Chains A and B, each alone.
Chain A
């Protein structure tokens, strides 16, 4: 009996101690994490509009000033990021859609009439590192630049394999080898962005 009580008390005290340690570290770091995440997001927004490249090494001040200069945020039902690229207004917005393991949060920029994707970035996802996780890679994301959005509601952008995808007008991009399900999930994410979220974006903008 005494042993059991000792086990319970010991486990309880040790758990409490570690939880407190974690809470303290978390409290100390959370403001920094928030700043990092915000910067990361602003960088993503700049990237989808094509203002920065993935390999550009920008300081946090540069990102903030560029963001303030180029991007207008409109808040309504959802937040829409507006920027003028080559004299044309483009809209960016976030979309959440299920991936293979968890939710993929994507940032999609489209032209004002939703005829073309301007750019795409993945803010967060939990796909398999090295397989589905490769949606983060430049070679995958760059395929979406200026890609025409198809009129077919079920297949706005087809993520395919073994078919020529080189043209920007064929609404097709190359899937990732070894990550069929993630590639399909990205296709679904874009369908959702255009079919469900874009009408709301127009409401916010107008």
Chain B
């Protein structure tokens, strides 16, 4: 595992991307990608949560008893998600309303636990924070790519702004979850073809 800050950061964006390489966080990838705005908000929420929960877990890693570490991790993750929820409700009510049930979905995102287990357990707080943030960014980038296709073809718009002409017939399948399977599948296939061969 790469240990320099730079390498840690870029590893999660491409070579070790949580969605296309580790195939984590797929449930939320299916649920939130039918429009770009929601996807972006979800991505930012996840970047915040993974970053800070990895930081906290790494800072406490020497004191956390091994047999209860998963409970502790969930506790820390849940705390940050609730903080995020409260802060959004109080200071950004508009976004909070748009986000709605997604905030709860962040807790169940396997990427956060995955990073906590695979990285924060055995690395220092600063590196873990970078690792968490970049895992969030890697996830968000793939999701934005999926959402771009889905919103464009499903609604004819991008970020809610109409870009395709009025007469365009929306592809109903793009609005429903199966399309995300196809698009993510296609992205994984394209991304992995040269990458797997290199190995």
Interface, chain A (partner B; CB < 8 A): 3, 6-7, 10-11, 14-15, 18, 21-22, 25-26, 29, 32-33, 36-37, 40, 101, 126, 128-131, 133, 177-178
Between A and B, 30 residue pairs with Cβ closer than 8 Å are A3-B65, A3-B67, A7-B65, A7-B68, A10-B63, A11-B65, A11-B68, A11-B71, A14-B72, A15-B75, A18-B75, A18-B76, A22-B82, A22-B83, A22-B86, A29-B87, A32-B91, A33-B89, A36-B89, A40-B93, A101-B101, A126-B100, A128-B31, A128-B101, A129-B32, A129-B38, A129-B102, A133-B100, A133-B101, A177-B172
Is B35 an interface residue when CB atoms closer than 8 A count as contact? yes
Residues of the B chain whose Cβ atoms lie less than 8 Å from the Cβ of A29 = 86-87, 89-90
Interface of A is mostly: helix
Residues of the A chain whose Cβ atoms lie less than 8 Å from the Cβ of B100 = 126, 129, 133
Contact pick for B65, options A6, A37, A126, A178, CB 8 Å? A6
In angstroms, Cα B83 to Cα A37, docked, is: 18
Is B79 an interface residue when CB atoms closer than 8 A count as contact? yes
Residues of the B chain whose Cβ atoms lie less than 8 Å from the Cβ of A126 = 100-101
| Residues A26 and B86 in contact, CB atoms below 8 Å apart | yes
| Residues B175 and A178 in contact, CB atoms below 8 Å apart | yes
Contact pick for A36, options B35, B79, B93, CB 8 Å? B93
| Residues A131 and B175 in contact, CB atoms below 8 Å apart | yes
Residues of the A chain whose Cβ atoms lie less than 8 Å from the Cβ of B32 = 129-130
Residues of the A chain whose Cβ atoms lie less than 8 Å from the Cβ of B31 = 128-130
| Residues B34 and A10 in contact, CB atoms below 8 Å apart | no
In angstroms, Cα B101 to Cα A101, docked, is: 11
Is B22 an interface residue when CB atoms closer than 8 A count as contact? no
Is B187 an interface residue when CB atoms closer than 8 A count as contact? no
In angstroms, Cα B31 to Cα A101, docked, is: 14
Question: Which residue on B lies nearest to A128, using beta carbons?
Answer: B31
